[in-house]
């Protein structure tokens, strides 16, 4: 009876092995490749494929693209790609099966990409040609593959094929196939022994015991071979394991810590070059409110026969959150005599990085916090709201001189100096009829770019003040060379009525709100950025 059971077991195991090995061998072929049929995609400015769609792990996947015209093929973070193709017509591959086919849909949009793909700096890899193959392995943070014309302005017609390179699977299947045949032979042998011994003749007792020993040995042999066969059959699928494809929202850290010093140094060099060439190219490295302030500083510096100097930054550290979409941003702290804080942004994937705000802090604020992946946690919406309230309290202090009662500290030099300036203009010796400041938080909502620091949250901000200064009729209005330069170099005199000038000033600050509810405000300077006669 045991021989019959062994024969049945070997037969079942061999069939199971064949059911696995034979179809798998046909799928992968002798080249160990499972691929989809080639499909032609017409029209659209690009083809986009998310590597996360590959439903297997433990194998190298590939995407092969060919066309009659030259193609650009690049790999990049999904955050960059999503923004790059957001307004464009493109083919989006939505699913892929191996063996099988892939599905895709044409996303409607404009007939040109925002920039030539080759001019962008965020590709992790890129190549060009009429026939290109991109190989990759699915990872925790998969990339996107983009196919486009080199100019980005031409629709493409491409043949697309996907596949998996399954190293050694065909060989394992052949081993499994051979062992399945061995198992079938053993099953036949055991079955024959069982048939021939159904009515055994009488034998001496010793011979019977020898038969039992032989039967036990045959069972042991069959079990060992069966176990080996199962392991061999499992090798047909061990290198390549199916996995569940779950949606992954792409994320990106604005800048790695290792690249921050080089970036800030390059910015300083470009700024110095712009100073020497009448601010040429300044808008490529700065954005408002910093851009407006720099242009005003250039005007007032020329009036005083001075020259602007770019800071020589050193000891750069950055706080860069992990973001899911543009704009990307980070805060940098660097030394130029004292600690400076910079807010740097990139509003679109096709635009350059620009410095939005620079603050001469005068003192070092709490240390920036970093996660194991190099990112910095963002402040919560509640914390951002509290920082915004503190920024409004600073604006109220600059306008009225009344110190806030909400824990916002306004003793920073840049704030008290402005209040002293307003006080001097209001003194009787000045002769001015009216001096009225009006201040508010700048429309650029920088407090939303807030990060967590040690026992606090920190953000940069900008307060803008408009100071209306007027004198009685027939008085000459003299507010200094800087304001005269901002007015265009014309002195202000009045023959009748009121003579009024509105002076606009910029007040860059850093807000650091502690866990105890107090907000430290730092900033050593304020700047005249505009003047207009009324």
Tokens of 376: 């910095």
Decide if pLDDT at 24 tops 70.
no
Mean predicted confidence (pLDDT) in 408-420: 94
Every domain of the chain and the residues it spans: 33-165, 257-533
Which of 95 and 226 is assigned the larger pLDDT?
95
What's the confidence (pLDDT) of residue 506? 96
Lowest mean pLDDT among 190-194, 284-288, 402-406, 515-519: 190-194
Tokens of 63: 């995407």
Decide if pLDDT at 113 tops 80.
yes
Is the full-model pTM beyond 0.85? Answer: no
The three state secondary structure string of 482-507 is HHHHHCCCCCEECCCCCEEEEEEEEE
What's the confidence (pLDDT) of residue 327? 95
Q: pLDDT category, 339, cuts 50, 70, 90?
A: confident
What's the confidence (pLDDT) of residue 238? 46
Cis omega before residue 289 (within 30°)? Answer: yes
What's the confidence (pLDDT) of residue 209? 46
Decide if pLDDT at 165 tops 90.
no
Give the length of the chain: 534
Residues 502/534, Cβ–Cβ less than 8 Å? yes
d(CA 90, CA 104): 10
DSSP assignment of 256-272 equals -GGGHHHHHHHHHHHHH
Q: What angle do CA 279, 283, 287 make, to 5 degrees?
A: 125
Mean pLDDT of the chain, nearest integer: 83
Q: What angle do CA 340, 323, 347 make, to 5 degrees?
A: 70
Which of 424 and 353 is assigned the larger pLDDT?
353
DSSP reduced 3-state for 80: helix
Residues 243/55, Cβ–Cβ less than 8 Å? yes
Strand order in the sheet with 328-336: 314-319, 328-336, 338-346, 354-360
Mean predicted confidence (pLDDT) in 35-46: 89
Residues 435/399, Cβ–Cβ less than 8 Å? no
What's the confidence (pLDDT) of residue 413? 93
What's the confidence (pLDDT) of residue 199? 52
Over pLDDT 90: what percentage of the chain? 53
Q: pLDDT category, 176, cuts 50, 70, 90?
A: low
CATH node for 33-165? 2.60.120
Q: pLDDT category, 428, cuts 50, 70, 90?
A: confident
Mean predicted confidence (pLDDT) in 162-168: 73
Decide if pLDDT at 132 tops 90.
yes
- Strand positions, DSSP E, 77-212: 90-96, 102-107, 125-136, 144-148, 158-165
Tokens of 95: 């699913």
Tokens of 174: 């052949």
d(CA 451, CA 329): 11
What's the confidence (pLDDT) of residue 232? 46
Decide if pLDDT at 501 tops 50.
yes
Which of 204 and 414 is assigned the larger pLDDT?
414
Q: What angle do CA 261, 265, 271 make, to 5 degrees?
A: 145
DSSP assignment of 194-241 equals HHHTSSPPP--HHHHHHHHHHHHHHHHHHHHHHHHHHHHHHTTTSSSE
Burial of 343 (0-12, 13-18, 19+ CB in 10 A): buried
Decide if pLDDT at 439 tops 80.
yes
Q: Buried b vs exposed e over 191-209: b needs ≥16 C-beta within 10 Å?
A: bebbeeeeeeeeeeeeeee
What's the confidence (pLDDT) of residue 316? 92
Decide if pLDDT at 258 tops 80.
yes
What's the confidence (pLDDT) of residue 171? 54
Q: Give 27's contacts (C-beta < 8 A, 6+ positions apart).
A: 34, 99
Task: Identify the DSSP state of 306.
Answer: -
Q: pLDDT category, 172, cuts 50, 70, 90?
A: low
Select from 342, 376, 379 the least CA-distant residue to 456.
379
Lowest mean pLDDT among 67-76, 97-106, 358-367, 484-493: 484-493
Mean predicted confidence (pLDDT) in 425-440: 85
Q: pLDDT category, 213, cuts 50, 70, 90?
A: very low
Mean predicted confidence (pLDDT) in 52-63: 83
Select from 350, 332, 399 the least CA-distant residue to 118.
350
pLDDT in tens, 270-308: 999 999 999 999 999 999 999 999 999 999 888 777 889
Decide if pLDDT at 163 tops 50.
yes
Lowest mean pLDDT among 150-159, 184-193, 269-278, 329-338: 184-193
Tokens of 26: 């046909």
Decide if pLDDT at 60 tops 90.
no
What's the confidence (pLDDT) of residue 191? 65
Residues 508/357, Cβ–Cβ less than 8 Å? yes
Mean predicted confidence (pLDDT) in 218-234: 47
Tokens of 438: 């009006």
């Amino acid at each position: 009876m045991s021989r019959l059971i062994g024969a049945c077991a070997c037969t079942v195991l061999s069939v199971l092995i064949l059911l696995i090995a034979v179809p798998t061998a046909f799928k992968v072929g002798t080249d160990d490749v499972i691929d989809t049929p080639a499909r032609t995609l017409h029209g659209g400015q690009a083809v986009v494929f998310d590597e996360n769609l590959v439903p297997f792990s433990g194998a190298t996947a590939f995407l092969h693209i060919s066309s009659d015209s030259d193609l650009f093929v690049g790999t990049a973070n999904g955050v960059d790609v999503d923004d790059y193709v957001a307004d464009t017509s493109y083919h989006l591959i939505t699913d892929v099966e191996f063996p099988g086919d892939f599905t895709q849909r044409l996303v409607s949009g404009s007939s040109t990409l925002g920039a030539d793909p080759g001019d962008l700096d965020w590709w992790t890899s890129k190549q060009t040609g009429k026939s290109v193959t991109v190989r990759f392995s699915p990872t925790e943070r998969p990339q996107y593959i983009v196919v486009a014309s080199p100019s980005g302005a031409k629709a493409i017609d491409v043949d697309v094929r996907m596949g998996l390179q399954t190293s050694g699977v065909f060989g394992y299947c052949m081993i499994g196939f051979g062992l399945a045949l061995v198992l079938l032979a053993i099953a036949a042998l055991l079955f024959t022994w069982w048939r021939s011994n159904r009515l055994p003749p009488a034998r001496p007792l010793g011979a019977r015991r020898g038969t039992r020993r032989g039967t036990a040995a045959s069972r042991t042999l069959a079990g060992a071979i069966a176990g080996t066969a199962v392991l061999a059959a499992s090798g047909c699928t061990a290198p390549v394991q199916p996995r569940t494809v779950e949606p992954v929202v792409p994320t990106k850290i604005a800048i790695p810590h290792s690249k921050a010093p080089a970036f800030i140094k390059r910015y300083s060099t470009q700024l110095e070059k712009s100073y020497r060439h009448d601010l040429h190219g300044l808008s490529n490295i700065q954005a408002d409110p910093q851009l407006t302030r720099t242009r005003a500083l250039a005007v007032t510096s020329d009036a005083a026969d001075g020259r602007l100097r770019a800071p020589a930054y050193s000891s750069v550290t950055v706080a860069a959150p992990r973001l899911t979409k543009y704009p990307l941003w980070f805060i940098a702290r660097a030394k130029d005599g004292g600690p400076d804080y910079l807010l740097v942004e990139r509003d679109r994937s096709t635009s350059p990085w620009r410095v939005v705000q620079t603050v001469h802090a005068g003192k070092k604020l709490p240390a920036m916090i970093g996660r194991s992946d190099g990112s910095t946690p963002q402040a919560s919406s509640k914390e951002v709201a509290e920082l915004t309230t503190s920024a409004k309290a600073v604006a109220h202090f600059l306008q009225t001189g009344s110190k806030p009662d909400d824990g916002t500290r306004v003793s920073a030099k840049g704030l008290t100096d402005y209040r002293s300036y307003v006080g001097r203009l209001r003194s009787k010796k000045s002769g001015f009829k009216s001096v009225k400041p009006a201040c508010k938080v700048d429309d650029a909502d920088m407090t939303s770019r807030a990060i967590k620091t040690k026992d606090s949250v920190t953000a940069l901000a900008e307060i803008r003040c408009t100071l209306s200064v007027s004198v009685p009729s027939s008085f000459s209005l003299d507010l200094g060379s800087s304001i005269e330069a901002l007015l265009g170099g014309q002195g202000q005199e009045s023959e009748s009525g009121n003579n009024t000038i509105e002076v606009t000033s910029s007040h860059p600050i850093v807000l650091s709100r502690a866990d105890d509810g107090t907000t430290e405000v730092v900033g050593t300077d304020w700047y005249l950025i505009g003047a207009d006669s009324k």
